[in-house]
Chain A
Amino acid sequence: MSDLGFDPSLKKKKKVKKAEDGSESPAPEVVDEMFANLKKKKKSTKKAEEDFEKSASPVGDDLSSSLGDLTLKKKKKKAVKTVDTSEFEQQLEEAGVEEPASEAVTSDGQDIGFSYEQLLSRFFDILKTNNPELAGDRSGPKFRIPPPVCQREGSKKTLFANVQEIATVLQRNPEHLIQFLFAELGTSGSIDGEKRLVLKGKFQPKQMESVLRRYIIEYVTCKTCKSMNTELKRESANRLHFLSCKACGSTRSVSSIKTGFQAQIGRRKRA
């Protein structure tokens, strides 16, 4: 039951977001959320809140005050109970929210009422403000990827300062990430004394970000549940890399990083 309730609204939110920024492809969308600290997510939630306000306004003050009560109650309960039970409590309270709403509407004598969607989005707003984890908010501190920090090093090189940090957040071996960067950017480089990556060539943070996005889609996110809480393992038997999800347990194989053709650049040496 609860799963049925959860899904549509998540989908709906995504749709809203899509319409807003007119994003191109569905796949990087998830990653967009991961880079949420940049800007987008906040906007969409704010909008949702506004919608919520609008939908709530005709009902009147008593409802909002009852809502206020609700949030207080929740906080108390949260302090006492464990997460699993509090989810159930939330659902119970969701049912509780519905009642005063329908009462208010019928007392007005209108049969418009709250649509299921409205109620659901309100529930998720409340849930999000109180227990973001339960609302499927993956932009929590655990999955917040710091934006790549790129500095120019001289005229020909780029210093990618926080590779290590990003690799740790993604739970990947930095070597693997660096190997991917080299292959994807068609360049080479080295790691300096402070474990920063020095890349040959000029790269903007934005370009770095798009490459990172691709890395995350290919080597970090679980295709089944879109979680980033995954592990990359190398099966010694068949020498293939496998991505296993810590959230849902699904496993998929990932292609090994191939540099492919590298053109001879600069002074060519004749054999």
Chain B
Amino acid sequence: MSTIQNLNAFDPFADTGDSEAQPTNYIHIRIQQRNGRKTLTTVQGVPNEYDLKKILKVLKKDFACNGNIVKDEELGEVIQLQGDQRVKVSEFLTTQLQLPKKNIKIHGF
């Protein structure tokens, strides 16, 4: 055993950290096209401990767009924002709310 030096320091079967186990509580940021070149951004799955109303207020002011909160029976409360705010929203969630980036999924093109 002791002749194999490698195995003493390094366990090849140890968890590497980049496990495939995906967090189930993703935050989904989606975009939908409306009429013309207008779009709508939806943010689904923001954890319950955050006050959506307050977040919405900040987002509306920061992005200079209108928005509202829609209650969905299955998916909970969803923030809707006018225009394509996907990148900005994800930036906000990671920097202001300290949410891990791997939990945020941006959809769309």
Which residues of A pack against B, CB within 8 Å?
A: 156, 183-187, 200-204, 207-208, 210-211, 223, 252, 255, 260-263, 265-266
Residue count of chain B within 8 Å CB distance of chain A? 21
| B32 touching A265, Cβ below 8 Å | yes
Q: Judging by beta carbons under 8 Å apart, are A262 and B109 in contact?
A: no
A261 touches B78 (CB 8 A): yes
Question: Taking CB as reference atom, which chain A residue is nearest B41?
Answer: A263
Closest-by-CB residue of B relative to A264 is B70
* B42 in contact with A184 (CB, 8 Å): no
- Pairs across A and B, CB under 8 Å, 20 listed: A184-B109, A185-B33, A185-B109, A186-B107, A186-B108, A200-B33, A207-B109, A208-B109, A211-B109, A223-B20, A252-B20, A260-B44, A261-B42, A261-B72, A261-B75, A262-B32, A263-B32, A263-B78, A263-B80, A266-B35
A-contact 0/1 string along B9-23, CB 8 Å cutoff: 000000000001010
* 4 shortest interchain CB distances as A-B pairs: A207-B109, A201-B33, A186-B32, A261-B44
- B75:A255 contact, CB within 8 angstroms: no
When C-beta atoms are compared, the residue in chain A nearest to B31 turns out to be A186
Q: A255-B22, A261-B72 are in contact. Are A210 and B32 (CB under 8 A)?
A: no
List residues of chain B with CB within 8 A of the CB of A202.
33, 37
* B30 interface hit (Cβ, 8 Å): yes
A208 to B109 alpha-carbon distance, docked (Å) = 7
What residues on A are CB-neighbors of B60 within 8 Å? none
Whether A260 lies near B20 (C-beta < 8 A) is: no
Least Cβ distance of A54 to chain B in Å?
38
Known: A186-B31, A186-B108, A261-B78. 20 other contacts (CB 8 A): A183-B107, A184-B108, A184-B109, A186-B107, A187-B33, A200-B33, A201-B33, A202-B33, A208-B109, A211-B109, A223-B20, A260-B28, A260-B107, A261-B30, A261-B42, A262-B32, A263-B40, A263-B70, A263-B80, A265-B32
